[in-house]
């Protein structure tokens, strides 16, 4: 164990993970209580609805407490770890000599010590942290002293106060229901649970998914039934199904065949986003077949000249950015409240990637400023991170246009759903030998189907058709791209 001298304990909280994500599940702790951590060293791996994220701690020192067991869901702003910062000497006794802490199930802490009254400015500066940003959060100093945890509340597990959650009959909460996550609202609605009758365990009484699940388990164990349940419309899950998180309303047949798969995690996030796109965006699709023979030859020649190999998707991305420069209407978004079309100056190009966890859309930042070699390298980096589950929320947000190469699945065409809130998506089918009229004669050529799904609010068919025709011309004659750069 390391010993922290002339230091103090700082509390690091779960940071803002971006794009409306309000909670994350602890997948794996990367440190133990008593470990020495460096500034910006990852301390925990969490899973959001977007990605698996390793969360770095901005403080260096000795870990004096962890909050939350693996599998626990925490809201943004909940404590993750406390770190005794200051000079580290030896490998001995910080766990014993550091600030007092409790011994809850999650290794939680009772109270963090106030900084010594006479602490030197140099020591204070060391305790300020790195100031680095994960996604939209900075390093800030935690309060010098935190309230001690009541022994009857499992705060150290990251779901403090769940025991105080109430079910029907316990009395409503005054004022608006403190819930941020739509997933929590849907879970309660599917199980006919009134959120006003729960006491949230999150910051400022925020109701978490753990609170809803606890209430459902308690209702099942106590035999509590709502009026709808008594009418046979809804069956409350038993304790075993409640603990596994398999909550959903049942069909009319009480023992219907089939397997129920909860829409949560990446699958749930994809479902929500696609549903929103269909609800809000009046989309239309146009498509064209193109002769990709010359593009394939050009790529072969580029890769034969030495240097890093150029991927086909990088060439298609380069064509996309050139087309968006000519048709900027498609690199935009719609502000529905202001009733304005916002045309964007930079192209952040998303691309669909299928992983074991589901479909994700990593984003290549400033794709318009990258050449084919740079695009190839960035596509490779993001694809590898996606397959390994290492994409950050920052890698998955902020796209302005999406390239969907569904040809890798062996299909010729598709009508993609726009990645909300973008305005368009280019789909690329497989490139296969087909009979084609070339220079007045029938020949076997490498043919690809291109499709463009676009938001009809931002442009009409003429603009969309012009964009797609330009892309097809570049595919058929790569020299067209060179003339317009």
Active-site residue set: 456, 460
Length of the chain as a residue count: 485
- DSSP per position, 264-311: -HHHHHHHHHHHHHHHH--EEEEEEEEE-HHHHHHHHHHHHTSSSPPP
- The residue whose two tokens read 């064209």 is 288
Give me 410's structure tokens. 């062996």
| β-bridge pairing 424-428 and 401-404 | parallel
| β-bridge pairing 52-57 and 36-37 | unpaired
- What are phi and psi for residue 137, nearest 5 degrees? -135, 150
- DSSP per position, 425-481: EEEE---EEEEEEETTEEEEEEEEEEEEEEETTT--HHHHHHHHHHHHHHHH-THHH
How far, in Å, CA of 35 to CA of 42, rounded? 12
Whether 186 and 27 have beta carbons less than 8 Å apart is answered as: no
Cα radius of gyration (the chain): 27
Of 124, 99, 126, the C-alpha closest to 9 is 99
How far, in Å, CA of 22 to CA of 16, rounded? 7
Across the beta sheet with 36-37, the strand order is: 3-13, 79-89, 61-66, 36-37
How far, in Å, CA of 344 to CA of 313, rounded? 23
Of 386, 337, 333, 342, the C-alpha closest to 364 is 386
359: helix, strand or coil: strand
How far, in Å, CA of 254 to CA of 409, rounded? 38
81: helix, strand or coil: strand
User: Which uninterrupted H or E stretch holds 483?
Assistant: helix 479-484
Report the half-sphere exposure of 15 (CA within 13 A, side-chain side): 26
């Amino acid at each position: 164990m390391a010993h922290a001298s002339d230091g103090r304990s700082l509390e690091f909280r779960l940071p803002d993970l971006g794009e409306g994500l309000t909670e994350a599940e602890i997948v794996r702790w990367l440190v133990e209580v008593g470990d020495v951590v460096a500034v910006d060293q990852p301390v925990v791996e969490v899973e959001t609805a977007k990605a698996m994220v390793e969360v770095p701690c901005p403080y260096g020192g000795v870990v004096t407490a962890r909050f939350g067991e693996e599998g626990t869901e925490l809201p943004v702003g909940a404590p993750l770890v406390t770190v005794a910062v200051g000079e580290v000497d030896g490998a001995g006794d910080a766990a014993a000599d550091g600030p007092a802490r409790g011994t809850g199930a999650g290794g939680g802490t009772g109270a963090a010590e106030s900084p010594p009254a006479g602490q030197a400015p140099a020591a204070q500066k060391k305790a300020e942290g790195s100031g680095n940003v994960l996604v939209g959060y900075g390093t800030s100093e935690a309060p010098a002293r935190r309230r001690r945890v009541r022994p009857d509340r499992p705060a150290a597990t990251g779901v403090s106060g769940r025991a105080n959650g109430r079910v029907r009959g316990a009395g409503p909460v005054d004022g608006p229901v403190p819930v941020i996550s739509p997933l929590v609202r849907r879970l309660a609605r599917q199980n006919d649970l009134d959120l006003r009758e729960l006491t949230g365990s999150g910051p400022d009484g925020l109701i978490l998914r753990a609170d809803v699940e606890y209430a459902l388990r308690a209702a099942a164990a106590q035999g509590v039934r709502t009026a709808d349940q008594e009418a046979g419309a809804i069956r409350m899950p038993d304790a075993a199904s409640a603990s596994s998180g398999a909550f959903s309303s049942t069909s009319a047949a009480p023992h219907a065949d089939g397997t129920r798969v909860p829409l949560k995690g990446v699958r749930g996030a994809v479902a929500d986003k696609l549903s929103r796109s269909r609800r809000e965006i009046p989309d239309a699709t146009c498509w064209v077949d193109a002769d990709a023979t010359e593009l394939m030859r050009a790529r072969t020649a580029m890769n034969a000249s030495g240097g890093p190999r150029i991927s086909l998707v990088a060439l298609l991305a380069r064509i996309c950015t050139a087309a968006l420069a000519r048709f900027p209407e498609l690199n935009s978004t719609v502000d529905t409240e202001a009733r304005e079309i916002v045309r964007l100056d930079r192209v952040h190009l998303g691309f669909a990637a299928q992983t074991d966890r589901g479909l994700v859309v990593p984003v290549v930042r400033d794709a318009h400023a990258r050449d084919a070699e740079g695009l190839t390298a960035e596509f490779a980096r993001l694809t590898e991170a996606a397959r390994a589950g290492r994409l950050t929320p920052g890698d998955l947000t902020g796209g302005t246009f999406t390239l969907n190469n569904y040809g890798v699945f062996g299909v010729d065409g598709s009508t993609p759903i726009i990645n909300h809130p973008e305005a368009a998506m280019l789909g690329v089918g497989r490139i296969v030998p087909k009979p084609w009229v070339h220079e007045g004669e029938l020949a076997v050529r490498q043919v690809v189907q291109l499709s463009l799904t676009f938001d009809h609010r931002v442009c009409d068919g003429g603009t969309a058709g012009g964009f797609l025709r330009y892309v097809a011309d570049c595919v058929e004659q790569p020299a067209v791209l060179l003339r317009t750069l």
